[in-house]
Amino acid sequence: MLQSETRPLNIICLASYFKGGDFMRECKDLGCHVILITKEKMLKEDWPHDSLDDLIAVPNDAGVTLFIDLVTFISQQTKPDLIIALEEFDVMTAALIREHLCLPGMSSSTAKTFRDKFRMAGTARAAKVDVPEFVPLINPEDVRDFMERVPPPWIIKPRSDVSAIGIRKVEESEQVWRAIDELNQRENLHERASYYLLAQFISGEVYHVDSVVGDGRVLFAGANRYGRPPLEVAHQGGTYISRTIAHRSEDERKLFEINRKLVKAFGLQRGAAHAEFIKSDADGKFYFLEMASRVGGAYIAEVLEAASGLNLWREWARIEVEGTKTTKLKPARNEYAGIVLSLAKQEYPDTDSYNDPEIVYRVKKLHHAGLIVRSKKLDRVEELLNQYAGRFVDDFVAVVPPLEKAE
């Protein structure tokens, strides 16, 4: 998308949660007119007000129709050029707004691939990517056949939620049937069994690849490995760790190759992507878990910027505004970084006693403790993260029950 020669681009950003400040800052730095639409409960967050021409809040329970009507009303005075979803839950809403106003960008059909794990898994499998066995909780015969073919344990997970929200691990077929019965009793039709998948549980280490895409091509990607699987952290508590994997390693090569296949198969033309994989303990293969058309959460962008010097939010903004002027984004450095993060029992946890020179970022968020470290040596990053994870347990860690659905 090239900047208009007659006027600045008008960009409307959707963010139901606090995300994307650097994206909006970069758009404003590039001369754009920027409007943010968020939920009322997010109004007090530290949005980049100096970079916003308007900030509009909708009710917390606002549905797609209200968003479409609001943007249509805005269009009477300020004709939008781009509708950007900065948060996972806004991807489909942004697509439907684009279609209503006949604006360029991701369609609702493409957005569905990024939001529905059933469709997502099928698309990845069609692209010849290894995927854990799966079945939707729709037809009892299909579910019964799956459980006869695929040995437990299994995972029951929502088709449209993010992270570990709503996921449960089951060991026996009776647990599955009980779960289906319980889901089908729910008042909200969108929470019933057909909106869930039953999937093979694969034991292994979980990795993620985060990339910037322009003209359907991956222009930059970074590969990281979690210290513990996010599902385990969500259900058992403790510290979350993510760190860069060895550059030019075989694992990095394989992950980048699979990621390129997925970007093409999913039809992402421009934007950011966050893909997760598990490396099976049994056969050493990478299996695809999920992919989102957004910048990864949990300070992943800050970790990648520490290692490479590239800010995913700002690079994405440049691609949206200026198009792809170069064929490849050049990292400023080729180092290693990682994060240790946890819920904290203190409202404002004090991390001043952590004073190693490799610390480049301190998380400042209520009831969260977090540190990002950077080094030219991967071993040093791993050493610090492991030390901090142990100290965090004594100093900060709080545990809360996992979410059943997004709040």
In the prediction, which pLDDT does 399 show?
Answer: 73
Question: DSSP of 215-264, one letter per residue?
Answer: TTEEEEEEEEEESS-HHHHHHH-S-EEEEEPPTT-HHHHHHHHHHHHHHH
Q: Give the mean pLDDT of 361-369.
A: 95
Q: Is the pLDDT of residue 1 over 50?
A: no
Q: What's the number of domains the chain is made of?
A: 3
Q: Is the pLDDT of residue 22 over 90?
A: yes
In the prediction, which pLDDT does 238 show?
Answer: 76
Q: Is the pLDDT of residue 327 over 60?
A: no
Question: Alpha carbon of 374 to those of 261, 292, 303, 334, 335: distances in Å?
Answer: 30, 26, 8, 11, 7
Residue 121 lies in a domain: no
pLDDT digits (tens, 9 = 90+) for 43-86: 999 999 999 999 999 999 999 999 999 999 999 999 999 999 99
Contacts of 233 (CB under 8 A, 6+ apart): 164, 239, 240
Q: Is the pLDDT of residue 405 over 70?
A: no
Q: Is the pLDDT of residue 34 over 60?
A: yes
Check whether residue 256 and residue 321 sit in a common domain.
yes
Q: Is the pLDDT of residue 398 over 90?
A: no
Check whether residue 307 and residue 367 sit in a common domain.
yes
Instruction: Give which of 354, 309, 347 is closest to 362, Cα–Cα.
Output: 354
* Domain stop point among 70, 89, 107: 107
Residue 318 maps to which CATH number?
3.30.470.20
Q: Give the mean pLDDT of 264-292.
A: 97
Is residue 368 within 8 Å of 344, Cβ to Cβ?
yes
Check whether residue 188 and residue 213 sit in a common domain.
no
* Domain stop point among 142, 171, 200: 200
In the prediction, which pLDDT does 289 show?
Answer: 96
> Percentage of the chain with pLDDT > 70?
92
Core vs surface per residue 246-272: b (16+ CB within 10 A) or e: eeeeebbebbbebbbebbebbbbebbb
Q: In this structure, what is the dihedral angle of CA atoms 46, 48, 50, 53, given to the nearest 10 degrees?
A: -110
Residue 47 maps to which CATH number?
3.40.50.20
pLDDT digits (tens, 9 = 90+) for 148-173: 999 999 999 999 865 556 789 999 99
* Beta-bridge partners for 271: 213
Check whether residue 359 and residue 210 sit in a common domain.
yes
Is residue 160 within 8 Å of 110, Cβ to Cβ?
no
Q: How confident is the model at residue 332 (pLDDT cuts 50, 70, 90)?
A: confident
In the prediction, which pLDDT does 360 show?
Answer: 98
Check whether residue 255 and residue 229 sit in a common domain.
yes
Residue 184 lies in a domain: yes
Residue 404 lies in a domain: no
What is the rounded distance in angstroms from the CA atom of residue 233 to the CA atom of residue 212? 27
Q: Give the mean pLDDT of 279-284.
A: 97
- pTM given for the model: 0.92
pLDDT digits (tens, 9 = 90+) for 139-152: 999 999 999 999 99
Residue 64 lies in a domain: yes
Q: Which helix (H) or strand (E) holds 307?
A: helix 300-308
Check whether residue 284 and residue 321 sit in a common domain.
yes
Token readout for 243 is: 């760190």
Residue 3 lies in a domain: no
Is residue 192 within 8 Å of 182, Cβ to Cβ?
no
Check whether residue 311 and residue 217 sit in a common domain.
yes
Residue 128 lies in a domain: no
What is the rounded distance in angstroms from the CA atom of residue 45 to the CA atom of residue 33? 21
Q: How confident is the model at residue 328 (pLDDT cuts 50, 70, 90)?
A: low
Residue 347 lies in a domain: yes
Q: Give the mean pLDDT of 11-37.
A: 97
Check whether residue 266 and residue 383 sit in a common domain.
yes
In the prediction, which pLDDT does 7 show?
Answer: 78
Residue 262 lies in a domain: yes
* Domain stop point among 162, 184, 200: 200
Q: Give the mean pLDDT of 380-406.
A: 84
Please give the mean pLDDT across all residues of the chain. Answer: 93
Check whether residue 162 and residue 228 sit in a common domain.
no
Residue 174 maps to which CATH number?
3.30.1490
Check whether residue 48 and residue 95 sit in a common domain.
yes
Check whether residue 101 and residue 218 sit in a common domain.
no
> Among the listed ranges 6-10, 93-97, 110-114, 219-223, which one has the minimum average pLDDT value?
6-10
Instruction: Give which of 96, 39, 45, 42 is closest to 71, Cα–Cα.
Output: 96
What is the rounded distance in angstroms from the CA atom of residue 107 to the CA atom of residue 272? 16
Question: DSSP of 56-93, one letter per residue?
Answer: EEE-TT--HHHHHHHHHHHHTTS--SEEEE-SGGGHHH
Q: How confident is the model at residue 268 (pLDDT cuts 50, 70, 90)?
A: very high
In the prediction, which pLDDT does 324 show?
Answer: 78
Check whether residue 214 and residue 317 sit in a common domain.
yes
- The more confidently predicted of residues 5 and 105 is 105
Provide the residue range defining the domain that includes 153: 133-200
